[in-house]
Structure 1
Amino acid sequence: MKDQALRKIGAMHPATLAFESAEMEDDYSLYLANKRIFLNRVAIVLAVVMYASFFIVDVLLAVDYMEAQALIRLVIVPASLLFVLGTTWSSHYPKFGERLIAFPLFVGTLGHVPMALLNGSFYASGFFSFALGLMLLYNFLLSGIRFRYSLLIGLVIVGSYEWIEFGLSQNKVEDVVTNHFFMISVYALGVISHYVLERFSRMEFLYRLERESFIDQVNREKVKSEKLLENILPKKIAFELKNTGRVEAQKFDHVTVMFIDIVGFTKLTTQVPADVLVGGLHEFFSAIDRIIRKYNLEKLKTVGDGYLCAGGVPRKSETHALDCCLAAQEILEYVKARHSEKFPIQIRVGINTGMVMAGIVGLDKFAYDIWGDAVNTACRLEQVCEPNQINISGSTRAAIHENFLTESRGLLPLKGKGLYHMYYLCERRGGEELASA
């Protein structure tokens, strides 16, 4: 769709080849100037050498008024060309280059007129038409300016020839016919050649824009897909999957796992309208996402109303237990502050520290996940937790006891563990510990 729009604004006038879009034409002008700047420099140097070299021919032919000839051939025209050559190193050249190149072409053309006038029919015969013929070819094939401008300059050159040939020269009819045939042939050859070359150049410019547009679109889609992949998987894992096509399973000896669950969610689904329920759940989980990002935790998955995250995986961290506890307290504060009759929720939080295995399994809708006794224990700690409390294991308490006060719950039955010592997380340390065990 974008390429079609590009082709539409890149439509060319059949005669002048100008783009219908003025902005596109300006872009092409800058593109052409930057592309041909080296060619312009070579062509200008060549023009200086050739124009000055004609003075040698003047000497050999013993033409009259050598002082005037020398002034034009060795001073005026070369000076104008060298001035333009100097401007090619200016930052303004790409914008004004065509006008600058046109200047010495006009000077060179007008320079031939007084030389023809001074030397009469001898000069106005073959020598004058040959010199202007070379200028025509230079204008069309070497100047590097756009077709419509070279067409105009070509008409000035041919017009100068016609003025001298018919107005002032006394050439024989056969000489006039021969010179005219030469000039018209050179002019036609130059026009056709320049037209074809510029048409190809403009098409190349359009294809280049289309290619750049396509590459930009591909890059944008690549960035989107990478962001989507990083939104599904941890950044480190997404990078590994993108570069190798697979993810190596890893063992982490010391991580902290946190389960969060909404109390009475099933009952809530029968009491709250679907849009309110999903909207509230989205707002709740989004808030948790922001909080765990703040504490450098890794979101692993949501299952229904349950939320699983961990610290120290896949990026290792020395403060994963502390980070989990700080995040859990902030989430609990958020829940208490956002509690309303419209979406009344309470949560249970279970936190455990231990060893896990991590990796990706399956072929479709894969996700980075963790397994191990530490995960099961965190889940069961959440299940036996009271509403709006944070239930932690002894291993987690050992890691954060210098930073938090805890309340011992004693030995309580825990599925698969028998009697298990667990604790409620209280406020940050600052006063006396409520209880210890």
Structure 2
Amino acid sequence: MDGGQLIQDVDSVLQIFKLELEPVEKDNALLVLTDNRTGAHYCECHVRAEKLVSLGTTDVPLDPNHPDYRANRELTDDDAFDAMRRDALERRSFSNIVAEYIPSEGEERPLKIIGGQHRFTAIKQALQSGINELHGLKVYFGLDMNQRLDVQLISNTNITVSGALTDRLKETFRGPNLREWCQTVGLLKEGQDFGDTKTRGGPFTVDLARTFIENFYSGQKIKLKGFANTETTPYLYKSGQDDSRWQKFLDDHPDIWKDKKLKAAGEQFARLVAAQRNAFAKKKGVADFSEKALNGAVLSAWAFAAGVFQGHPQRLKRHYAIADHTGHDPLNVAVLAKGRHKTDKDNYRGLGYRTDARERAQMVELFEIISGSGDKINAKSVNAAIYARFAKQALLDAKRTRGG
């Protein structure tokens, strides 16, 4: 937060709040309550649009030490938002706008809108037409980082919140390491934050970053000599879940952000993503093809294989060289789509469309085959990968049945 010394005492902050925002609730009518789960202090009140707009902002960082990365979702210009703007022009009084009030010297907009940015924007636009209604606020005072994260999450419980946004908030709270690593290797642009929704062509998301990194290390535990009879199914993080798993992984691997091999793998995968996109840059209606490298099965398997090949320079070189193949897109999506096992149902769309465990495991087999031959991905290698996985699964099932 820019400006001078922050005022932390809740009573002092409350007095400044009453002077600046002029809530309808005055004196004893303005009660400061406490959320007993987190100890956060807040009040509920009503203020005029002119005060709300002149002192409020939706440009809110979760971590004041990294103010360039915002806590709020991106505004979505959809039918619901259009209806909200029409309601505001018809003098609707909105409620349950969630904010934190952070006064400091030189701070022109101390009211930080945490939840309800669409309503705030509708109110702001209506004010330009002279509509100055009262609106309901829930205002927090003196939050620490843990309390601020909690408020960010609970303020969105009345809407459908993407798991990707939840991941982004928690990762921002955790610190900048994952985001900065993705920016360094090229999976995020410089200064870009993780996506708050999973969209084709959109920003890289937290779950994909976690999936890539964990599988790179999981792959290093696999010995290539016993590959044919070893379980090699990558793990796929799901957005909005698995935060405790990721924290345990970080605790067990404290030095990953200094790992040059991981950095190199990230850079090489970013090359593959770019090459796959470039192959379809001038074609329309092929968004799924151009984004194939970011399919959960492809990404997790590529990272897992890169880990497996760390002790095998020639194989690793061939694995990284997939991005350089010419004549068709690096992943040869058209051929992947034709790959199928004799037991597959008619609605199976081919290799690399789904993200289930079998799909991830088959992609690992494909990358292992390619690294051994140095060939491009072709029909022969795709079918060989599918059947290799079925053969491996039979061996593993037999081993488990014997209790081995």
- TM-score bracket for this pair, using the shorter chain length: under 0.3
Higher helix share goes to which structure?
1
Rg larger in structure: 1
TM-score, normalised on structure 1? 0.24
Bigger relative contact order (CA 8 A; separation at least 6): 2
